[in-house]
Amino acid sequence: MQYIDTPTPSPASTLILVHGSWHDGSSWSAVQEQLDAVGVESNAPTLPGHRAGDDRLAVSHDDYVSCVIAELDAVGGRVVLVGHSFGGSVISRVAELRPEDCHGLIYYSAFVPRDGERVADSLPSQFIEFLDQAAADSADRTIELPDQALREAFGNTADESTLARIRALLVPEPHAPVFETLALPGFPGLRIPAVYITCRDDRAMPPGTFHPGQSSRLHEPGLIEIDGDHEALLTAPERLADALLEALDAIEAAHRARRERRPRLRDVPERATG
């Protein structure tokens, strides 16, 4: 018998947008508006410890992962995880725990920790000293992003009105999760299509920290470069949304290429029957 395989349209993916440090889910709002306009569904959960009234002293990286897994279960269907900055460490762990539910991974100026590493291991010593000192000075060991850092390193392409808008959205950052040792023993062996978005004007970390420093830790990732700073989700949301759409196309292309490499039923020789 011969079977003819006819391609079926791929179901649309829902993006789960995971924010980074000093942000909450609302930081993705402008990007989500752009995605909505072209019919791409997205959810942007707020991680524990980033909501008003949360216990920021007790929050852990496991809490972050559990939050995103709950979101993944609520969405169902085809999901692509997007991690910004510290959020990259969260989507990596979710992907390792639930690879069958992750259609693709998109890292935007994001950390990709190795097994047994802390996100802190990828930070410069001066930045770690700042985090430790700021936490020591705070009753709940949270850290505020200094205005100078926002202006010169994170939102360095923004005008004054945009900086004021970003500043109003920032939340105190819990200290502990960035210093937790993360278990990712199976992540290097995952073959979930991944794309890394890097921003040419990103000054949040020393040059090369995100790309190629973090992007090179992924297995054959697609690479997209855009003009923008670390806060492109707020300073250049249209540009970032376009990059996310391009990344979705790249993920679909990777899946198609894998399907085409598999033997098809019509290519399997028929066996003689007696």
**Residue 249, domain CATH:** 3.40.50.1820
Domain membership flag for residue 8: no
Query: In one letter, which amino acid is 164?
Result: A
* Dihedral angle over CA of 251, 252, 256, 259, nearest 10: 70
What pLDDT score does 9 carry? 41
**Number of domains present in the structure of the chain:** 1
Domain membership flag for residue 61: yes
* Cβ–Cβ < 8 Å for 43, 75: yes
Domain membership flag for residue 256: yes
Domain membership flag for residue 267: no
What pLDDT score does 84 carry? 99
Domain membership flag for residue 88: yes
What pLDDT score does 11 carry? 72
Domain span holding position 176: 14-261
What pLDDT score does 76 carry? 87
pLDDT in tens, the chain (274 residues): 232 333 334 578 999 999 999 999 999 999 999 999 999 999 999 999 999 999 999 999 999 999 999 999 999 899 999 999 999 999 999 999 999 999 999 999 999 999 999 999 999 999 999 999 999 999 999 999 999 999 999 999 999 999 999 999 999 999 999 999 999 999 999 999 999 999 999 999 999 999 999 999 999 999 999 999 999 999 999 999 999 999 999 999 999 998 888 654 344 444 343 3
Cβ atoms within 10 Å of 215's Cβ, excluding its own:
20
What span, in angstroms and rounded, lies between the C-alpha atoms of 120 and 181?
A: 9
Domain membership flag for residue 233: yes
> Model-level pTM?
0.92
What span, in angstroms and rounded, lies between the C-alpha atoms of 60 and 257?
A: 38
DSSP code, position 229 = -
Domain membership flag for residue 36: yes
